[in-house]
Structure 1
Amino acid sequence: MASNAHADRLILTHGSSGSFSFKTACRLVRGPHMHVQQHLPHVLKFVWHSPGLLPRVRLFLWKIINNALPIGGTFAAKMGFLSPLCHVCNSGSEIATHALFFCQFARSFWFASPFSVRFESMPDDPTMLLFHVTSILQGFLFTSFANHLWALWKFRCKHICEGAPLIVDPILKMAEYYNRLSRITSNLTIPKPLRHIWTAQAPNLHEGFNCFVDGSFISTGSAGWAYLLLNGENLIQYELQSGESLSAFEAGLKALSLAVKTAILLELNACSFFYRLFSTSANHGWKTGSRNMSMAVL
């Protein structure tokens, strides 16, 4: 091309300036799925900040958004299935939205659930569908919805891999069980006496469990140990038991046993449990799924 002022030049019509830019090229490559990418940060942020969402359920939602579920033609080939269609209703292509929302059994499950969301009017893309759901269900309602989704997925996998029967009532009971666990995790806070001790004396891995009963705790007039109780509403309550002559080792063993029971309820793996048990950080919360959670204050 000529280099004078009136020479011809290439104009990229997809940009406002007519010149090439990396952002314009990315938009051109994404094409019609650009609107999905715009809603992706909102959905991920909503999932991350949902109150009481269990770690496995949070990871499950992340897999749905990123199309990482073991489903479809690739899963059928690995399992030795001849047809890539839905293995429950055998009437549609097995994708995440069909298996969890549009399948005949999934529709009957959502009809029996406490939610009145009509998924037929929502798009097939998982991110867009969850974006519409987050605009309808807020707070703990979305957490309950995610628990129902997780229970449906678990029973569906058992039906395909183990031949277990698909019945709506057990799935609803399991979803309600996960709702109770979510209420527990969303109401966990560090009590003030323990928070004072936790800041004054952080636990040390080499000192065993002497941190559970220390001098500052006894000087307040409440020589005892802190433990967790579940009341009738399945919420965590903290009680301070005084008047018991317990050594630091005995108190530590009791607190450790309760910590293991709580970890089982929260479905923590071994690595997460021991990290939270022996962490020496002073800025810890009790909410599950967060890297700031610590069970050492037990």
Structure 2
Amino acid sequence: MTLVAWKNITVPKHQGGLGLKDLRKFAQSVHMRYLWSLISESKSLWVQLVKAKYLQRGTIWSTKGSNRSTTFWKALLTARSLLRDHIRWNIGDGRKCKAENQPWFDLWLNYQPINAVQRNLLVADLVNEANGGWYNEKLIQAFGFHGALYIAITMPNGPGLNGTEDKLLFTAATNGQFTLKNAYNLLLGHTNSQSLMQQAHKKVYNAIWHLPGVQPRARLFLWKAVKEALPVDMVLSHRLGKSPQGCILCGSMEEDVVHSLFKCPKAMQVWLASQFGLRTDLLPNSVMEIMMDALQVLDGAQIVAFFSVAWHLWKYRCKEVFEGTKLQPQQVLGSAHRWSQLLSVTVNRPVYAVSNSSNNHAHVSCYLDGSWVHDKEGGAGIAYILFSTSGTLIQYHMHDVQANSPFHAELLALRMAVNEVAALGYREACFLSDCLQLCNIVNGISGLDAVEWQLYSEVLDVIASIKGEFGFHCIYVGREDNQLADGLAKYARINRVSNLGFTFPSYSIPNCNAVTV
């Protein structure tokens, strides 16, 4: 008897499923990958052959299939509707993206060049290189009055040509890169954006599947318990359409999963006698909520012990039901203790100190931070504190902003700090952040692969400002050395305030040695 629906089993593990593949959707994602290669101008031989056979008179978006088309080509045409709403050209120099049938503005499917002459235009042909704005006459000739008006309203300053090559982005991925995994998750309806409740559930699932020292069969049991999918009386009677028989051990008429593991009198005896001394009659009536509460107050080894008690309690209940062996609390706790002591593992992460010689030559040191929480409004706070080399406060600034992610908040904080330090006339400065990803990108250690594609231009602007004519450096510091900037950023976010000041209690400049973990 299947107690969990197949559609829920194909969900990724961190979202509550078992991560098994939905083969139909996986096949569709493979077709999307082939289509992506076709529209991203891949130089592979099969792409050239397909273009020569099917796309001599149009693009993949305008061509139509026929009964004589191959099964492969029909599959690609079907994949168009799955992919077209999730791609976008990021315009660089405008010389790779054509104006016709290409997703470089929002309603590109509704407005297309109106005559054959205009169909070979590139985006760069519609832009006045002198000021970066539109050639209005060419825009109207190509897209008609209504299409040109829409483009001009939604992109009033033009596409912002920056000299880089045009790049096709997959908007369903935060970094804009198309992968088979991203396409498959898109078809399943799984995204990285989650509500606060989903994030809390994710912590439970991650603990079940990734905590060291838990046997695979115990992990599967815990997953079933959280999904309320154990074969207890209420679950089976509901599935079989029969009247509930009640709990065999205590005679209660309602034997659900919470009752079996926590609120049956025999289970209550076990938990009360355990190392946790738990009054389970006061716990919530949901296994998920109980697990969420446990994760908030217990550390890793204690969680393993908690899981162990629950699993062995279930095993001894089954022995009493099927074998007639009486459940004894000390037997359950003894087995659970031996299991958790044998299998629990403590992981220590190494800490390495990295010297920072570049900071010794900076005229000023600027500590910065961003604070962000997931909400509908994207509320965030950013702050920086500027010190002289002697540790004297020069200026501080905290600001209430809108951001899309924690990284975006950190990026806005760095941009504000760089612009205002330069405006104060300093030509050498050291900017210290506890965001390792941001520091690595600015310093060229890592690329933009992990960055949300919408932030590419902002990141490039910040890098250009730091790597310009000034002696600016971006250094990573541990969070413990950045507490003041962190506190100001949180204050700005929570209280929705912005404040620029020069008089602040004296604050000694901390040790600027970077720490990586």
Larger helix share, 1 or 2: 1
Which category describes the TM-score, using the shorter chain as reference length?
0.3 to 0.5
Higher share of residues assigned strand:
2
Length-normalised TM-score, structure 1:
0.46
Larger RCO (CA within 8 A; separation ≥ 6): 1
Report the structure number with the largest CA radius of gyration: 2
